[in-house]
Amino acid sequence: QVQLQESGPGLVKPSQTLSLTCTVSGASITTNYYYWSWIRQPPGKGLEWIGDIRYSGSIYYSPSLKSRTSISRDTSKNHFTLQLSSVTPEDTAVYYCVRSYSPVVQTTSWNYWGQGTQVTVSS
């Protein structure tokens, strides 16, 4: 059974960098044709794709967040990470890590989800 688990601070100060890790079990993040994404949902809003790192190691970012986002992985630990810099209160959201079976960003392809972690940006 594939399981994903997010971890990281729940409170980040404005202008600082948000850092989250997604630890994966039951599957390798290097297995062909799987795509490991970060998604967020601000309060009262819909899901927003942040970016993904692919089985090959290629990385793709949402254009709207690209300038502040960095996604990486550690294959020895089978985890991948998100860093979002210069955060503001608008970055407050539940952050999810997700596995997709498609390179196309579409909710129907997100078939395994972490439980989500609340991140609040506040001084």
Q: pLDDT digits over 34-93, tens only?
A: 999 999 999 999 999 999 999 999 999 999 999 999 999 999 999 999 999 999 999 999
Q: Pick the residue with more confidence: 83 or 103? A: 83
Task: Please give the mean pLDDT across all residues of the chain.
Answer: 96
According to the model, what pLDDT value does residue 106 have?
A: 87
Confidence of residue 105 (pLDDT cuts 50, 70, 90): confident
Query: Residue with structure tokens 């596995």?
Result: 99
The angle formed by the CA atoms of residues 4, 108 and 67, to the nearest 5 degrees, is 70
Q: Is the dihedral of CA 77, 120, 59, 1 positive or negative?
A: positive
Check if the beta carbon of residue 4 is closer than 8 Å to that of residue 23. Answer: yes
Stretch 17-29: mean pLDDT: 97
Task: Indicate if the pLDDT at residue 107 is higher than 90.
Answer: no
